[in-house]
Structure 1
Amino acid sequence: MAETPLAYAASASLDAPAQPRLHDVLIVGGGLVGASLAIALERAGIDVALLEATPAGALPAVFDERNLSFAEATVNALTALGVLQKLRAPTGAIERIHVSRRGDFGRVALEASAHGRREFGKVVVARDFGEALEARLAELPGLTRYRPARFVGVEPADAGHRGVRIVDGAVDGAPERVLCARLLVGADGSRSAVRAALGIAADEHDYAQTLFVTRLRAQRSPDGGAYERLGDGGPTALLPRGDRHYGLIHGVASGDAEAVAALDEAGFLARAQHAFGWRVGRFLACGARSAYPAFRLLAQRTTAARAVLVGNAAQTIHPLGAQGFNLGLRDALTLAELIEAAHDRDAGSDCGAPALLSAYEQRRRDDRARTVAFSDGLARLASNPSSLLRPLRILGLFAFDRLPSAQAMLVGGAMGYRGDVPALCRAPPDGGRA
């Protein structure tokens, strides 16, 4: 694997030639989706480069103590890509899902065994996942990594490629230089510099919620149950981790966030307990807390000439339902699948060709629209305190709990099977069930 922290390319020196280095695919962003895409493209046998802001030996900030809920389709794909095998910490199995709303009757209770599964998915700590991705990336001899480096802008697409301006290192004032790529991939998060440089507008909605994330120890240890407790200020969720703790997400109205952040541990636990209830007994202790705003952001288009947006750069959704990374991974896997298929048909195929990008947009349209609509609708309905909506919420909870067709739709989406699903998501490598 080629490392280029402060040099032109893997074998370059200060006397680098004037001709820019040309890659088949240049991925900007080494986070969850960008790193996963780089690994998935190994199968295509093409020249791939990854532009990362963090230096070698460090993980991007996104790989923190957040708890990631991997749908079954995601588990299948990451196992096939050899990533989950690199995890050093135990994962938590999601065998049951319980959804309710404070003050409303009814609930949704889903059992994986009732749908022919041992589990719906797994809970992985983001930091652990980052280390596993890094271990897998280190095994890719054909990957060029520019790190630390910063994306600056783009040149007009021309002559079968697009120029990308970057700055090496983390020092302000460093000179710019240009790389070239047949396909530029923006995987650089919600505030995507690639999206802005391409002139792609985005529609944004602020849910006026702040989500506090931490590790929680409760009176009863996790036993495979995942809980979503909805409320006016936002959701309070418990995810079963593999270390006998829960991953807690506690949503509050943004206007209350400063006061909640100032609470000591006992005060925060009491507040979260009041919002969640006593299904796992008393909340005993929690770790350091992090806070994140909840918002929805949708790029008005996901492709441009020789460029594509994936993951949060294309769509950032409310974490209620835990679909964000799962959706972004399906972006990456679909793109990799199309590039691999084109390369298999013709080793000289152009991975940035308009036809390929058009096929990508078409394949992602249904999954993206349905997942965004589900997440947004659930977030808005769950947090709206209007008494007029209470009967509708109760009716919805009863329908999803009692009607097999409604449950099947909910379970299929929760496990990552919406729209045209990438092949790696459909079944684990051994042909069995996850």
Structure 2
Amino acid sequence: MTSDAKPQMPSTPALHASHDVLIVGGGLVGASLAIALDRLGLDVGLIEAAPPCALPAVFDERNLSFAEATLNALGALGVLAKLRAPTGSIQRIHISRRGDFGRTVLDAQRYGREEFGRIVVARDFGEALEARLAELPRLHRYRPVRFVGLADDADPGWRAIRVADGAGERILRARLVVAADGTRSGVRDALGIAADEYDYGQTLFVTRLRSERAPDGTAYERLGDDGPTALLPRGDRHYGFIHGVANAQADAVAALDEAGFLARAQDAFGWRAGRFVSCGARSLYPAIRVLAARTVAPRAVLVGNAAQTIHPIGAQGFNLGLRDAMTLAELIEHDLAAGAEKADCGSADLLERYAQRRKPDRDRTVEFSDGIARLASNETALMRPLRSLGLFALDRMPTAQSLLVGGAMGYRGDVPALCRGDEPMLRGGRA
């Protein structure tokens, strides 16, 4: 399954190329998967919409919360070492709800950790991934190229797709096609996989915010009727700020000047972090949940947001998607180590094992984020005292806290070895 072909960057490889794995989507999860698979000596193709020297739109100024399991994996893949901007340490997590008296504080030291995770700016992460991708000896990068649809292939051992660039359409095929093309996945639609969508009726404003007090390692999650307000400790003395508003209010909030937005942010969050003094440009994102009915099809698999896009409350989305990618890479690695005769990375057996192994983590993470989002925005009169009592009790229940902490750090279900910090089976890739 190895390939001696050299990567062609930024030009496009041959018209009808074949690969072991073809990843559609060069964003956070797709690029991370490409790095993980390259170390196994596989012939991997990566289809990217962005041209060379340009980052995908997903690598913007939003703030990513990397759980400990995610940091372990990205460290092993050589990505963390490429980060140039300082990251922010999450040493405590403070959870409260506006108008309720209860609150919960999780402290990493109580669990024998220095931190639960780190805050990384998406653009910085994108640049680190790009630097790491440029070092891969076997990766074929198709860019800028877009996915058009599926193509017929008489050989059941392959999956063929149609892609297009400035020169027109071409056919690519692979033993395994990976849909890492986001929430509105064209690959998922082409495979005929249905997706259940739920609109939370919220718009999320994301920005960089500065307070009169520097971050002290505390990440705040402030719940409210119209959505969460989160304050995340960045590494540049700023906070990452996320503010959810009802869709009906989004236009009015977007029209606020800096002073008006800061006043709204202060009112929603309170004064725990001091007075807010400035903020950067604001980006807007809808809060929706999109769940694929299944995550595998013949010689195809969905990962990341193509498989599940969840509410950002609790910051679980990318962490969950990375565990998708690392689990897939680990299963392929296991089959490679077992012998070449089993090393079909798109076999029905492998994909069934992938789907079964990912199900518990996926189900529990989706249930957690969806449950918290719905509970927090429920305005029924009876819910207010119940929520308060729940937060109050959680702050005093070590066992329940431990379960919450384990999930927040990325340790749900059958965790991939790289996420646990274990050594890979195939060090340095296959010869």
TM-score norm. by structure 2 comes to 0.95
Q: Does 1:397 align with 2:402?
A: no
Q: Does 1:277 align with 2:270?
A: yes
Q: Does 1:190 align with 2:168?
A: no
CA offset at residue 385 of structure 1? 1.5
CA offset at residue 156 of structure 1? 4.5
- Which of 401, 414, 422 is the matching residue for 1:420? 414
Deviation per CA, 1:369-407: give whole Å up to 9, x if none: 000000000000011111121122112212321101100
Structure 1 SS opposite 2:59 = coil
- 2:41 equivalent in structure 1: 45
- Unaligned 5+ segments in structure 2 are 1-5, 424-431
Counterpart residue identity of residue 162, structure 1:
R
Counterpart residue identity of residue 292, structure 1:
Y
Deviation per CA, 1:26-75: give whole Å up to 9, x if none: 00000000000000112221110100000110000000000000000001
Counterpart residue identity of residue 175, structure 1:
G
CA offset at residue 427 of structure 1? 2.6
Structure 2 distance, partners of 1:399, 1:196, is 44
Q: Does 1:3 align with 2:8?
A: yes
Counterpart residue identity of residue 61, structure 1:
A
Q: Does 1:299 align with 2:292?
A: yes
- 2:281 equivalent in structure 1: 288
- 1:129 equivalent in structure 2: 125
Deviation per CA, 1:207-249: give whole Å up to 9, x if none: 0000000000001010101001111011110000000000000
Structure 1 stretch 59-68 or stretch 42-51: which is displaced more? Answer: 42-51
How does 1:33-432 map onto structure 2 within 5 Å? 33-156=29-152, 158-169=155-166, 174-348=167-341, 349-427=343-421
Structure 2 SS opposite 1:220 = coil
Deviation per CA, 1:332-355: give whole Å up to 9, x if none: 000000011111212352100000
Structure 2 distance, partners of 1:5, 1:160, is 29
Structure 2 distance, partners of 1:376, 1:345, is 39
TM-score norm. by structure 1 comes to 0.94
* Alpha carbons 1:99, 1:109 under 8 Å: kept: yes
Structure 1 stretch 377-386 or stretch 387-396: which is displaced more? Answer: 387-396
- Which of 25, 28, 31 is the matching residue for 1:29? 25
Counterpart residue identity of residue 95, structure 1:
Q
CA offset at residue 6 of structure 1? 5.3
Counterpart residue identity of residue 241, structure 2:
L
Structure 2 distance, partners of 1:377, 1:89, is 34
Structure 1 distance, partners of 2:90, 2:217, is 5
Counterpart residue identity of residue 3, structure 1:
Q
Counterpart residue identity of residue 404, structure 2:
L
Structure 2 distance, partners of 1:216, 1:398, is 29
4+ aligned runs moved over 4 Å, structure 1: none
Counterpart residue identity of residue 284, structure 1:
V
CA offset at residue 5 of structure 1? 5.0
CA offset at residue 168 of structure 1? 1.8
Counterpart residue identity of residue 58, structure 1:
A
Structure 2 distance, partners of 1:428, 1:117, is 18
Counterpart residue identity of residue 202, structure 2:
Q
* Alpha carbons 1:237, 1:250 under 8 Å: kept: yes
Structure 2 distance, partners of 1:390, 1:224, is 29
* Alpha carbons 1:95, 1:119 under 8 Å: kept: yes
Counterpart residue identity of residue 360, structure 2:
D
Structure 2 distance, partners of 1:190, 1:285, is 32
- Unaligned 5+ segments in structure 1 are 430-434
Structure 1 distance, partners of 2:416, 2:335, is 15
* Identity, % of aligned positions: 73
Counterpart residue identity of residue 60, structure 1:
P
Q: How big is the alpha-carbon RMSD for the aligned residues of Structure 1 and Structure 2?
A: 1.3
Structure 2 distance, partners of 1:418, 1:396, is 22
Structure 1 SS opposite 2:125 = helix
Structure 2 SS opposite 1:379 = helix
CA offset at residue 4 of structure 1? 5.7
Counterpart residue identity of residue 363, structure 2:
A
Structure 1 distance, partners of 2:96, 2:378, is 14
- 1:432 equivalent in structure 2: none
Counterpart residue identity of residue 82, structure 1:
G
